């Protein structure tokens, strides 16, 4: 007989990394998501957070969350469909719709649940979900949960996308789903070209603004603002509230009738407890701060450009990034983990990324500087990075991690 738990006992890669002292995951932070954090009493410069605008520890965000807890408690004890829908949730949806320039919005408990729920609600039997090969895992999982078929096209390759759309033909419903900003390498989807192909072949377009909200566009309103696009060009915009919006949750914005439909058939919303009131209040506060303090976005980009210039001066491969997400491409898994460990030992917190999160032989150290990092912190981190890179990249890899 086959034991379903056998795969668990045969899973050894994480233990190998632990035994080798280069296991980088599940670190226990003892402080808030600030430019500097504490782990086991030691200070680290935080270069591994998606807290792009530095709002996760902003006093106004904390105050909004605390007030919500005082007035609404710690949770709603049910789904929004039944007893969990508060005035805070409705206010947040109105603000999100206005922020994105759409008629209506729908809020989920997490960004992952949002993609599961929205995609599986819209893509049915006989329909096709068309995705970029580097789209986020939650997008692909949402497609798998749907009753439609999945087609993938080569990353940012418009010729391949057109071929896919043309092959499907006009008799099927088609939803093209793409990340506005790709989370690992920081490049931007060519949304105007994608939109044009969708219109040509009768497809609808959904753009995930998880890493674009608060980052792209003069006001930080996302990918559509960055390209000067409207609801005529992008049918549905979705995203998470765990990056620039500095809390947790997911959202979808679009035409009122589309949002109304999804609201009533999306299983991951109907059958999940609602976003905690404290999160709803904090996200609404974040939207207000982004709209009234555009200098945060300017500082984020200024810090990112400074890092990028210094990395390039070091001769490092930073890929095709066009955003504050900076990939330092190493290529070899073991060297990537070893570099992460040396950076960590010297007080710099970063994220090692290996396949399948990135293509094979494309392993990298993902670096992000936030709007609240000081120039002194950036220089200190860069000096650590330069010293560690010189030591690690000279070493020959063993067969430990492939």
Exactly one of 89, 136, 211, 335 is catalytic; name it: 211
Identify which of 81, 6, 41 has the alpha carbon closest to the alpha carbon of residue 267: 81
Q: What is the DSSP letter of 274?
A: P
Element (H, E) at 367: strand 363-367
In what side-by-side order are the strands of the sheet with 174-179?
A: 104-108, 250-254, 236-240, 204-208, 174-179, 128-132, 149-153
Could you tell me if 115 and 143 are in contact, meaning their C-beta atoms sit under 8 angstroms apart? no
Cα-only R_g, the chain: 22
Ranges of beta strands (E only) in 47-202 are: 104-108, 128-132, 149-153, 174-179
Tell me the CA end-to-end span of the chain in Å, nearest whole number: 31
Any catalytic annotation for residue 279?
A: no
Exactly one of 89, 174, 243, 335 is catalytic; name it: 243
Could you tell me if 181 and 223 are in contact, meaning their C-beta atoms sit under 8 angstroms apart? yes
Any catalytic annotation for residue 211?
A: yes
Tokens of 255: 């035409």
Any catalytic annotation for residue 391?
A: no
Could you tell me if 247 and 53 are in contact, meaning their C-beta atoms sit under 8 angstroms apart? no
Exactly one of 138, 146, 183, 304 is catalytic; name it: 183
Which residues, in sequence order, are bridge partners of residue 131? Answer: 152, 177
Q: Give how far Cα 375 sits from Cα of 105, 215, 225, 372, 379, Å.
A: 38, 20, 29, 10, 6
∠ CA 4-10-13 to the nearest 5 degrees?
A: 135
Catalytic residues, by residue number, are 183, 211, 243
């Amino acid at each position: 007989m086959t034991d379903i738990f056998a795969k668990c006992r045969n899973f050894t890669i994480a233990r190998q990394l632990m035994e080798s002292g280069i296991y980088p995951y599940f670190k226990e932070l003892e402080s808030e998501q600030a430019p500097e954090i504490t782990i086991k009493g030691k200070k680290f410069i935080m270069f591994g957070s998606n807290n792009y605008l530095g709002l996760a520890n902003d006093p106004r965000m904390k105050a909004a969350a605390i007030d919500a807890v005082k007035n609404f408690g710690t949770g709603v004890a049910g789904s929004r469909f039944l007893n969990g829908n508060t005035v805070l949730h409705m206010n947040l949806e109105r603000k999100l719709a206005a922020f994105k320039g759409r008629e209506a919005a729908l809020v989920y408990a997490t960004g992952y649940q949002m993609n599961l729920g929205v995609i599986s609600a819209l893509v049915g039997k006989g329909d096709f979900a068309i995705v970029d090969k580097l789209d986020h895992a939650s997008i692909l999982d949402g497609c798998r949960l749907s009753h439609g078929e999945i087609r993938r096209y080569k990353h940012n390759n418009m010729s391949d996308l057109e071929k896919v759309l043309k092959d499907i033909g006009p008799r099927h419903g088609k939803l093209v789903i793409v990340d506005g900003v790709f989370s690992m390498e920081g490049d931007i989807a060519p949304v105007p070209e994608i939109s044009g192909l969708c219109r040509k072949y009768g497809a609808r377009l959904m753009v995930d603004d998880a890493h674009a909200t608060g980052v792209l566009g003069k006001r930080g309103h996302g990918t559509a603002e960055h390209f000067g696009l409207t609801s005529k060009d992008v049918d549905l915009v979705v995203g998470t509230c765990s990056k620039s919006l500095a809390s947790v949750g997911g959202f979808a914005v679009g035409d009122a009738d589309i949002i109304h439909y999804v609201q009533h058939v999306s299983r991951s919303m109907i059958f999940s407890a609602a976003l905690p009131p404290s999160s709803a209040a904090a996200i609404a506060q974040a939207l207000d701060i982004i709209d009234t303090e555009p200098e945060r976005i300017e500082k984020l980009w200024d810090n990112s450009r400074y890092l990028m210039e210094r990395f390039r001066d070091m001769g490092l491969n930073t890929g095709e990034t066009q955003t504050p997400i900076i990939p330092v491409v190493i290529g070899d898994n073991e060297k990537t983990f070893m570099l992460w460990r040396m950076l960590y030992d010297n007080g710099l917190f970063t994220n090692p990324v290996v396949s399948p999160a990135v293509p094979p032989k494309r392993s990298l150290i993902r670096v992000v500087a936030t709007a609240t990092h000081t120039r002194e912190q950036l220089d200190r981190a860069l000096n650590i990075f330069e010293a560690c890179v010189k030591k690690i990249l000279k070493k020959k890899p063993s067969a430990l991690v492939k």
